[in-house]
Each structure stands twice: as structure tokens, then as C-alpha cells.
Amino acid sequence: MAGPGVLATAATAAPQLAKFHAPEIVFGPGALAELGHCALRLGARRPFLVTDPGIIEAGWADEAIAYLQQVGRQPVVWSAITPNPKDHEVAAAYEHYVSTGCDVIMAVGGGSCIDAAKAVAILAGNGGAILDYEGVDKVVRPIPPLVMAPSTSGTGADVSQFAIVTDTAQRIKITILSRTLVPDISIVDPRLLITMPEDLNAATGLDALTHAIESFVSRAHNRLTDLHALHAVRLITNNLCQTMTHPRSAEPRIAMAQGSLEAGMAFTNAILGITHAMSHQVGGLLDAPHGVLNGVLLPHCIRFNAEADPDAFVPLAAAVGIDVTRRPAAEIALLLAEQVRHLADEVGVPKGLGALGVTDADIPILARTTLNDACLATNPRAADVIDIEALFRRAL
């Protein structure tokens, strides 16, 4: 008969407690039709809908508005959002939110729309300027309810506790990390992925893969995040290229939507690592596509982390289909890095950061600002400014 002694022994062997935050999730083709009901359940009287010109052109914004109108709600639409949302864009959106008397905040779009919506919610509940909230747990007061419908298969913003905003004066991206930012409801409709431009499809897919890999080896991982991370790696590596060659095929899109979702649930609970810490800096400096930067940096960061502990990369390599039998862990980790680079090649990602505009002269400042990024804290290997400069140079 198991008693307190048995539980104590198990706790001693595996003392880590697993805390797992996730929104309510509505998943599947046609899920966007639930938007109106979600608004009603959250008590919306005048929803604030954040989107962008591309989503409007694709017709998804009109579909979302129609679902809200069907339940008697007329949303206020805000679409003045650009990729890598800027601090001044957030300020303008918040002013409009207040002046129009809105309540529940919704987003239909990619990670930029969702991050901007979260940023408006922060200001609505806490005041001040969005750059005041950089770092961990700076959002201390409740925020309005959030409903997110992602149109890309990669950022994970629809389930995460992260918001990323560009500080335009400093030309850096700031990371805001708070449990309050986990949305109330995530509506994942794979139909929305069909209208992604090819380059965005590639970039967001590699972003999702980076989420899965970094969360699996993170210092804060646990058995719940591991399960989602490994499954996400399998789904993404098996389906990303198919979405490029057969963009209207349903099953690869559904698989990528699920892979992005699971990678998001993994990283919002396990956090990330050095790849994201570095890519945020380049994105802030050059306004470059986040997922493309991750695709360039990830193989180098896998090799860097594996030098300290290659064992953690063995299950990841198995998930992408690498034969791991009777091979040393260090060799397997290098094969994983090669496989990630091969996938990046297949979807058209440049070989190095130099092709995206990074120069050797940029590296010292990029390395220094990387040290301040919240994602670095959970990287499995400690890194100083010299390590980070060396990584940036390898990635040039």
C-alpha cells in the first residue's frame, strides 16, 4: 500500500512541480465562427478588434466582424499595426481603445497583431507607457479579457504569457513576460493559414520549431511542456515543407496549426533560450522577420548548448526522424543542428545574418543587449558577452 513515505521518495527523486498555464482553446477548421459566442461569454459590450491590412485584404477581418454582429456586437476595428509592433503604434491603439469605450480585446492576425492587442490590454489595466513593462511580472493589475485568433502557424502569441514590442528610440525589442498575458480564449482556425504569404509561412514555421526546441531544453522545462514540445517538433518538421508546396492542402495546415499551438503551450510555461534572446536584438535593430532570424540562429545555438549537455537534444533528434541508436549524444546534437539548417534551406531562409543586413560592427551592441533579454535566463548553458559575440559572428 502506498503511503506518505512512497510519495516522499518520489518527490525526492523528482522534486520539480509542474505549473501549466493555457487559455481555453477552440481548434479546428471553422473555429472562427465561435468568435461571437466567445465575446458574449466574456461580457463584451463593445469589442476592440486588432488586425492588419493583410488580414483585411484576405477577408478574415470581415468574417470576424460578421460573427460579432450576429450576436449583436459592433466591434471597433484597429488595423494600424506593422510587423514587429512599435511602441508608438501601441500608444495610438490604446488611445483609440479608450476614446471609443471598448472593453474585451480581440485580435485576428499574426503575432504582431496579437502582441499589440496584449500591449493595449496592459495599458488599459495598468496605465503608463508600454516600455515601462519590460521584464518579468511588471504587469501587476488585471487586464481586460483577451480573445486571440492566429492567422500564422508559428508565433504562439495566442497562448503565451509574452508580448514583444519594439522600442523605436533604442531600436531594440523589449520582452514583457507576465501570466496575466495568457489570453482567455485562443481560437485556432487552420483556414486562416492558407492566405499567409510564402515567406511568412516559412518564417513562422521556423519560429514554432524554435519554440519547441528551446522549451524542451530550457532550465524551466517539465514533463508537461516536454510532451507538447516533442510532438510539436514532429508535426512541424513533417509538415512545414508540405504547406509550401501544397498551400491549400488541409491536413498539413491543420498539423502546422496544432504544431504551433503545442509549441506555444510549451514555451509559455518553460520559457525559451539564447536563440530568442539574440533574435529579438536583431529584430529590433533591423526590423527583420523574427522567424527568419530564428531559422538562421537556431543551428548555431543548438551546437553551443550541446557543448555543455548534448543529452537533452537526443529526444528532439528522434522526433525529427534522426536515427539515434548507438550514436553518441554529441554527434546526435550536431546532426539535429544540420537537419534544422537543411529545413531552413528548403524553405528559403538565408544562410547567415549578413544577408539580412547585420555587420560585424553591429555585434558588440547586439551582444550587450542580448544579456538583458528575459529569454536568456532559462537557456540551459550560461553565456557571457564573449560567448554571444562569438555566436553572432558564427551566424554572420
Residue 8 maps to a domain: no
Q: Are 255 and 235 in contact (CB under 8 A)?
A: yes
Alpha carbon distance 375, 357 (integer Å): 23
Residue 18 maps to a domain: no
- Please tell me whether residues 144 and 244 are part of one structural domain: no
- Please tell me whether residues 175 and 227 are part of one structural domain: no
Alpha carbon distance 67, 74 (integer Å): 10
pLDDT for residue 292: 96
Alpha carbon distance 335, 76 (integer Å): 50
Q: How confident is the model at residue 17 (pLDDT cuts 50, 70, 90)?
A: confident
- Please tell me whether residues 138 and 231 are part of one structural domain: no
pLDDT tens by residue, 218-260? 999 999 999 999 999 999 999 999 999 999 999 999 999 999 9
Amino acid at the residue 216: F
Looking at residue 351, what DSSP letter applies? S
pLDDT for residue 355: 96
**Mean pLDDT of the region 319-331:** 96
- Please tell me whether residues 288 and 324 are part of one structural domain: yes
Q: How confident is the model at residue 16 (pLDDT cuts 50, 70, 90)?
A: low
Q: Are 81 and 109 in contact (CB under 8 A)?
A: yes
Alpha carbon distance 55, 197 (integer Å): 11
- Please tell me whether residues 189 and 220 are part of one structural domain: no
**Mean pLDDT of the region 348-352:** 96
Evaluate if residue 13 carries a pLDDT over 90: no
Residue 130 maps to a domain: yes
- Please tell me whether residues 206 and 317 are part of one structural domain: yes
Average pLDDT, the chain: 94
Amino acid at the residue 48: F
- Please tell me whether residues 48 and 132 are part of one structural domain: yes
- Please tell me whether residues 263 and 338 are part of one structural domain: yes
Kindly report the number of other CB atoms within 10 A of residue 33's CB atom: 15
Q: How confident is the model at residue 15 (pLDDT cuts 50, 70, 90)?
A: very low
* Cell representation of residue 320: 525529427
Q: Are 210 and 276 in contact (CB under 8 A)?
A: yes
Residue 32 maps to a domain: yes
Using alpha carbons, select from 134, 64, 70, 145 the residue that is nearest to residue 103.
145
Structural domain total, the chain? 2
CATH code assigned at 202? 1.20.1090.10
- Please tell me whether residues 140 and 211 are part of one structural domain: no
Percent of residues, the chain, with pLDDT higher than 90: 94
Kindly report the number of other CB atoms within 10 A of residue 16's CB atom: 10
Evaluate if residue 166 carries a pLDDT over 60: yes
Residue 5 maps to a domain: no
Amino acid at the residue 126: N
Domain that holds residue 96: 24-193
- Please tell me whether residues 241 and 345 are part of one structural domain: yes
Distances (CA, A) of 147 to 18, 223, 340: 25, 27, 33
- Please tell me whether residues 216 and 352 are part of one structural domain: yes
Helices (H) and strands (E) in the chain, counts: 15, 9
pLDDT tens by residue, 167-183? 999 999 999 999 999 99
Domain boundary among 147, 169, 193: 193
Looking at residue 75, what DSSP letter applies? P
Evaluate if residue 68 carries a pLDDT over 50: yes
Evaluate if residue 6 carries a pLDDT over 60: no
Kindly report the number of other CB atoms within 10 A of residue 59's CB atom: 10
pLDDT for residue 101: 98
Residue 329 maps to a domain: yes
Residue 166 maps to a domain: yes
CATH code assigned at 147? 3.40.50.1970
Q: Are 224 and 269 in contact (CB under 8 A)?
A: yes
Domain boundary among 157, 174, 193: 193
Alpha carbon distance 144, 34 (integer Å): 19
pLDDT tens by residue, 119-138? 999 999 999 999 999 999 99
pLDDT for residue 127: 97
User: Which residues in 80-98 are b (16+ Cβ under 10 Å) and which e?
Assistant: ebebbbbbebbbebbebbe
pLDDT for residue 10: 40
pLDDT for residue 8: 46
Kindly report the number of other CB atoms within 10 A of residue 372's CB atom: 15
Percent of residues, the chain, with pLDDT higher than 70: 96
Residue 182 maps to a domain: yes
Q: Are 256 and 361 in contact (CB under 8 A)?
A: no
Q: How many residues does the chain have?
A: 396
**Mean pLDDT of the region 28-35:** 98
- Please tell me whether residues 287 and 189 are part of one structural domain: no
